[in-house]
Amino acid sequence: MIALLALVVGVVLGLVLQPTIPAGLQPYLPIAVVAALDAVFGASRALLDGIFNDRVFVISFIGNVFVAALVVFLGDQLGVGAQLSTGVVVVFSIRIFANAAAIRRHLFHA
């Protein structure tokens, strides 16, 4: 599956090239990664449910990343950056857990 291949290639390139992130973007990268992970888990669950739609995935991926970055940015401006950042990560974690549980039920019927 080309999607999985692309993921692997991305990881390998990231490890090999080791580019430096501009300092301004550095606090947002982990948030963006977690948001993207949530979208991926959601897509995997949809795939197993048979209702996967690539357009839905693309929009949810980009949307998650954008909204997460926006919320964290706003938090930094307001002075509650650490708290909002924590909140965003927590919310995405909850969603990832939910999707993972659904995937688990599909795969192991348990």
Nearer to another protein, 8 or 110 (CB): 8
Residue 1 in tokens: 């599956």
How many residues touch another protein (CB under 8 A)?
43
Calpha distance 100→110 (Å, rounded): 12
Of positions 41, 42, 45, 61, contacts another protein by CB under 8 A: 61
- Which pairs count as long-range contacts for 55-59, CB under 8 Å and 24+ apart, including other chains? none
Identity of the residue numbered 102: A
Counting contacts by CB under 8 A, is residue 103 touching another protein? no
Of positions 70, 78, 82, 101, contacts another protein by CB under 8 A: 82
Mapped onto helix, strand or coil, the DSSP state of residue 25 is: coil
Residues that bind another protein (CB under 8 A): 1-15, 18-19, 21, 23, 26-27, 29-30, 32-33, 36-37, 40, 43, 47-48, 50, 52, 54-55, 57-58, 61-62, 76, 81-82, 85
